[in-house]
Amino acid sequence: MSKPTFPIEVHGSAKQPLGMSPAAFLRDYWQQRPLLVRQAFPHFQCPTTPDDLAGLALEETALSRLVHYDRANNHWQIETGPFEEERFADLPKRDWTLLVQDVDKWDADVAALYPAFSFLPRWRFDDIMISYAVPGGSVGAHVDNYDVFLIQGMGERNWKIDVKPNPPLGFLPDVALKLLQTFDPSHDWILQPGDMLYLPPGVPHHGIGVTECLTISVGLRAPSSAELIGDLADQLCPDLPDELRYVDPGLAVSKHAGEIDAASIQRLRTALSPLLSMDDAALQRWFGGFVTRYRAAVSPTPPPKLPSRQQMARKLDEGASAIPHPYARRAWTRVGRAADLHSCGDTYRISLKVAHLFCAERGIDASAWAQLSASDREVLLNLLEAGHFLLQPARKGRR
């Protein structure tokens, strides 16, 4: 029986941005193979402009990079922001690109792209990075260890990828960027506004500006096993008593004093049992805290003049809303008939029936506030005090 074949290029539509159902995409493509969707977003209106992006790169707390390729000397140069406005006036007409990360935290129109990917867990998303390139602008051929959806926002970009088995992954020496020493593409496309390229981890790729262009990168970065194990150990260690140690009662006479024998390794497993035998409840509580603070560029803080809890409750009664801070990552886990809400690494017990409201992008408006129990209201007030949610005044004429 022949193996099924999966097209690498499909056409999308307003009803099916992936060119197929989300279930089919997750089954056949997600973390398995690339997919180019022509017109995933028909009549796409780019949510930002090159001037907006350059203005953001001037900000002290924005994460921005400028990459320039010197063709004459085959040399790559990378600069990190914030930049002075004059820097952009000095740039040539070719061969450079500006990248700004976390644009979704600054621009609500950019963040509004997330609902198009609601078939994936929200806590899996890292950020939306946007790159502006002039003709020839690029960051070089490279490979990423995360999933990304590349939406063409403005202009044209040439994307080359290599899907052949076991592609060479050696890096160029003496280059700050991890660029591939050898890149032999198997596919070569020009993307137009509204086109979208999905790349799973490990696929070599190279994007080059054909015209002045903007590309929107919706990234889903997963933690490495080393990061997970390190954080879990850090979480467990302070609670472990010093008396809990490697022990070896009933030790047999050693035949070879320098040998670590099989029995020693078994005793080692016992000593490590707090890490190896965490129950699901403890593991999900730790992971919820970890993943909602993972790679956070900024820790949300409350505004300088925060109303009292009584004042905030009254404002919510009168029609105000509690909206999530742009940098506040939230997720929830079931705990019997209740739920744990994880926000920026902190955990709060809430009612299961309203857990989704605390994680909704729109936040909690007056009607949702009215549904909350007294204990859930206390949690929301705690989140407002911590700066994880921000109070948005009621619209005029609304109660």
Cα 236 to Cα 266, 275, 340, 374: the distances in Å are 21, 8, 19, 32
Average pLDDT value for residue range 198-226: 96
pLDDT tens track for 81-106: 999 999 998 899 999 999 999 999 99
pLDDT band with cut points at 50, 70 and 90 for residue 64: very high
- Longest Cα–Cα distance of the chain, Å, equals 87
Q: Which CATH class is domain 224-235+281-399?
A: alpha beta
Q: Quote the Cα angle for 103-206-223, to 5°.
A: 55
pLDDT at 256: 87
Q: For residues 222 and 228, what is the distance between their CA atoms, to the nearest angstrom?
A: 10
Tokens representing residue 277 in the block: 């035998």
- pLDDT confidence of residue 7: 96
**Rounded to whole angstroms, how far apart are CA atoms 157 and 134?**
10
Pick the CATH number of 9-220 from 2.60.120.650, 2.60.40.1180, 3.30.70.20, 3.40.50.2300: 2.60.120.650
| Residues 21-36: tens digit of each pLDDT | 999 999 999 999 999 9
Strands 187-191 and 196-199: unpaired
pTM of the model: 0.91
**Mean of pLDDT values over 221-238:** 90
Is residue 341 over pLDDT 80? yes
Measured CA to CA, the distance from residue 349 to residue 340 in angstroms comes to 5
Cβ(290)–Cβ(228) under 8 Å? yes
How far is Cα 71 from Cα 250, in angstroms, rounded to an integer?
71
> Which residue(s) pair with 188 in the sheet?
160
Measured distance CA(203)–CA(82) in Å, rounded: 30
- Report the share of the chain in percent with pLDDT over 90: 77
Q: How confident is the model at residue 168 (pLDDT cuts 50, 70, 90)?
A: very high
Instruction: Indicate if the pLDDT at residue 270 is higher than 90.
Output: no
* Token reading at 160: 């080359």
- pLDDT at residue number 398: 46
**Quick one: pLDDT at residue 279?**
86
Total H helices, total E strands in the chain: 13, 17
3-class state of residue 362 by DSSP: coil
Q: Give the three-state DSSP class for 106.
A: helix
Q: Where are the domains of the chain?
A: 9-220, 224-235+281-399
State the average pLDDT for the chain. Answer: 93
Local confidence band at 397 (pLDDT 50, 70, 90 cut-offs): low
Tell me the average pLDDT across 96-120: 96
Q: In CATH terms, are 9-220 and 224-235+281-399 the same topology?
A: no
The first and second tokens of residue 171, run together, are 């890096």
